[in-house]
Amino acid sequence: MHSRKPFYIVVALLFLAGVAASVYRGIEHNVPFLPGKQVQSWAVDAKVSFQAMGEPAEVTFSLPSDPAFEILVENATSPGYGLTIAEDEMGRHATWSIRNAIGQQDLYYKVTLVPTGNNQVIALQEPQPPLPYSWPATEQAAAEQIMDEVWSRSATNLSFAQQLNKSFNATDRSQNIELLLSGNTPADLFIQMLNSKGIAAQKVNALFLEDQRRRQQLTTFVEVYHQGEWVLFNPANGTQGRPDNLLIWDRKGKSTLDVVGGVNSQVNFSMLQDTRSALATSIDMLKNKDALDFSLYQLPLEEQSLFKGILLIPIGVLMVVFLRVIIGIKTSGTFMPVLIALAFIQTTLLTGLIGFLLIVAFGLMIRSYLSELNLLLISRISAVIIVVIGIIGLFTLISYKFGLSEGLTITFFPMIILAWTIERMSILWEEEGAKEVLVQGGGSLFVATLAYLAMSATWVQHWVFNFLGIHLVILAVVLLMGQYTGYKLLELRRFRPLAGE
């Protein structure tokens, strides 16, 4: 007897690969594990306006780059302007340019963002140690006094920044701080003090996302480097860390908007919250990234809907294997129930069952006449197929005349399969009587119904199409069941007389 170890290793590998692929898809590509899940998205409009002076104008506007938000769609409207969106060491930015403009100019940038839940800002590389700030003579003494005092109360770079932030916003601020803040913004002062102590820090412009707000401005934050991560501070109000609804717009510390050839430039933001399907969102994002991942969404729509049906077959097959190997139900034709179940998906269960029984009953009647004609098998089957088509046509027509739209779906039944079912049932009837026909026919319909129930569950349909890894898991389970040597459930009943004493 050869070892079954390699077999179990293969099964385990298939299983793990399937689970891993599914989990990867769910977590990395944000494909929702449950159908119908909604995610929130933010539509942010930035309106850049300035007064042009009748000469060539160039507007450079920073675009958001924030790990906490993923860009779904972005576009810029600016009639008459040339537009470039580029990325360089200063971050992503849009540049509008025009040869000649005069008067009030309005440029729009729209972006749809989806929160990723990834609120940390990881530093890609350690920043250069900053150059110490050279304080003006009037401020130096005060600044050093504050820094020394805070330094003595702190242990690390981070706690220095925290203490500094606190003393900026204390209710009873020292006179030194009042003096310094009268000549500097809190953010500038905060950065200067950190830099003087050799701590890397930079200015960040961010936008608070609030539903249905208009004419919003960017807020200035400071991020401080601490152990591979940038920690966000707001020295203007003494808070630390980032709120969930904060969008970091611009991190490079330079101005968000640069206008050459215009005056009175300003930028206003308006925003709107929206919910959309999590699935559609993740598909759009995959398309944006041009990630040619193993996804069926790259196929044309027609093939997609075809595959939505095909990929249900493994579920039906799994059901049949389970019911035959573990439970022990008899069916007529091994996979006939799966095909019937596929037809049920189109017709719905009740209509399907009634339609199936009507067709088979009519078919059996016609078949009993054909059996008296003494025909060859091939021509008899062919005759039954033609008759089945006739029956389907007749039922469709009748139900149409009576206004029963459900009846029209009867055409989804696979005709060849029906013809063979009728032929087998008819032989079974002649040989083993009506009872066996009921047992096997009923068994087939029972299996078909269970397969239908499994295949029509929305979450099953969601999983088989969006998580292709699940098919590897099904394959592993089917292989495993192929090795099952235990009793079938119905055998426990059958062999009951042997269990006694």
Partner 1 sequence: MLFARPKALRDNGVLGMNKRNIDYIGRYNPRKYYKRVDDKLTTKQLALANDIAVPALIGTVSQQHEIVHIPEMVDNRSGFVIKPSQGSGGKGILVITKVANGHYYKANGNEVTPSEIDRHISNILSGLFSLGGKPDVAIVEGLIKFDPVFDGYSFEGVPDIRLIVFKGFPVMGMLRLSTAASDGKANLHQGAVGVGLDIATGQGLHAVQFDRPIERHPDTDRKLTDILVPHWDTLLHTASKAYEMSELGYLGTDMVLDQELGPLLLELNARPGLAIQIANSQGILPRLQHVEQMRNKFMSVEERVAYAKTHFSNRPNT
Contact footprint for partner 1 (CB under 8 A)? 1, 325, 328, 371, 374, 376-378, 427, 431-432, 483-489, 491-500
CB of residue 500 to partner 1, shortest distance in Å: 8
DSSP codes of every residue in 231-252:
EEEETTTTEES--TTEEEEE-S
Nearer to partner 1, 253 or 333 (CB): 333
Nearer to partner 1, 17 or 325 (CB): 325
CB of residue 485 to partner 1, shortest distance in Å: 4
CB of residue 276 to partner 1, shortest distance in Å: 49
78, 70, 77, 68: which is closest to 98 by C-alpha? 78
Tokens standing for residue 437: 């026909």
Nearer to partner 1, 459 or 495 (CB): 495
Show the CA angle centred on residue 395, arms to residues 425 and 305, nearest 5°: 85
* Helix, strand, or coil (residue 128): coil
CB of residue 450 to partner 1, shortest distance in Å: 20
CB of residue 458 to partner 1, shortest distance in Å: 33
Nearer to partner 1, 86 or 427 (CB): 427
* Helix, strand, or coil (residue 223): strand
Nearer to partner 1, 214 or 493 (CB): 493
CB of residue 423 to partner 1, shortest distance in Å: 8
Residue 305 CA to chain centroid, in angstroms? 19
Nearer to partner 1, 357 or 434 (CB): 434
Nearer to partner 1, 3 or 485 (CB): 485
- Whether 257 contacts 48, CB under 8 Å: yes
Nearer to partner 1, 137 or 377 (CB): 377
Write a three-state SS string for 372-389. HCCCCHHHHHHHHHHHHH
229-234/219-226 β-pairing? antiparallel
CB of residue 313 to partner 1, shortest distance in Å: 21
Nearer to partner 1, 292 or 377 (CB): 377
- Whether 410 contacts 347, CB under 8 Å: yes
Nearer to partner 1, 1 or 292 (CB): 1
CB of residue 415 to partner 1, shortest distance in Å: 18
Write a three-state SS string for 12-23. HHHHHHHHHHHH
CB of residue 296 to partner 1, shortest distance in Å: 34
* Helix, strand, or coil (residue 174): coil
| d(C-alpha 177, C-alpha 168), whole Å | 7
In DSSP terms, 230 is beta-bridged to 121, 225
Long-range contacts of 142-145 (CB under 8 A, 24+ apart): 142/176, 142/179, 142/180, 143/176, 143/180, 143/192, 143/193, 143/196, 145/176
128, 134, 253: which is closest to 196 by C-alpha? 134
CB of residue 432 to partner 1, shortest distance in Å: 6
